[in-house]
Amino acid sequence: MLYEPKKTLDEFTKLMEDIKKNIPSEYDAFIREKMTVVKAGALDEKTKWLLLLVASVTEKCPVCIPRAVKHCLEQGFSKQEILEACMVAVLVGGSSVMTYVTLVDKAIDELK
């Protein structure tokens, strides 16, 4: 299966620049909201990134997955911890979600 996490992230970043250029107020509001939600509160930032990864897998988002994997690795999660958490997504989303766990596995190996 062809899936290139780094290339996917690079292309997404370029596309988001065009959106930022065309609708800067909305883009900035989106970024502020994201920063607010991910910032440590009752839950630490590390936990929030793992939750974002599980949600990304459940929602089957091939762009969100490598972004969340990258942050989870930066926060110090091991491959085993990340994959184990992703099995919660399979429990919630059903067996078709397992396909997206393979994308997580590939992203971990490529983004380490």
Taking the C-alpha atoms of residue 69 and residue 56, their distance in angstroms, rounded to an integer, is 10
Query: What's the pLDDT score for residue 1?
Result: 78
Among candidate residues 60, 62, 112, 54, the one with its CA nearest the CA of residue 83: 54
The amino acid that residue 70 corresponds to is K
Query: What's the pLDDT score for residue 86?
Result: 98
> The pTM is what?
0.91
Residue-level pLDDT, tens digit, the chain, 112 residues: 799 999 999 999 999 999 999 999 999 999 999 999 999 999 999 999 999 999 999 999 999 999 999 999 999 999 999 999 999 999 999 999 999 999 999 999 999 9
Domain spans of the chain? 5-111
CATH 1.10.3720.10 matches 5-111: no
Taking the C-alpha atoms of residue 81 and residue 91, their distance in angstroms, rounded to an integer, is 16
Alpha carbon 19 to chain centroid, angstroms: 20
Query: What's the pLDDT score for residue 97?
Result: 97
The amino acid that residue 53 corresponds to is L
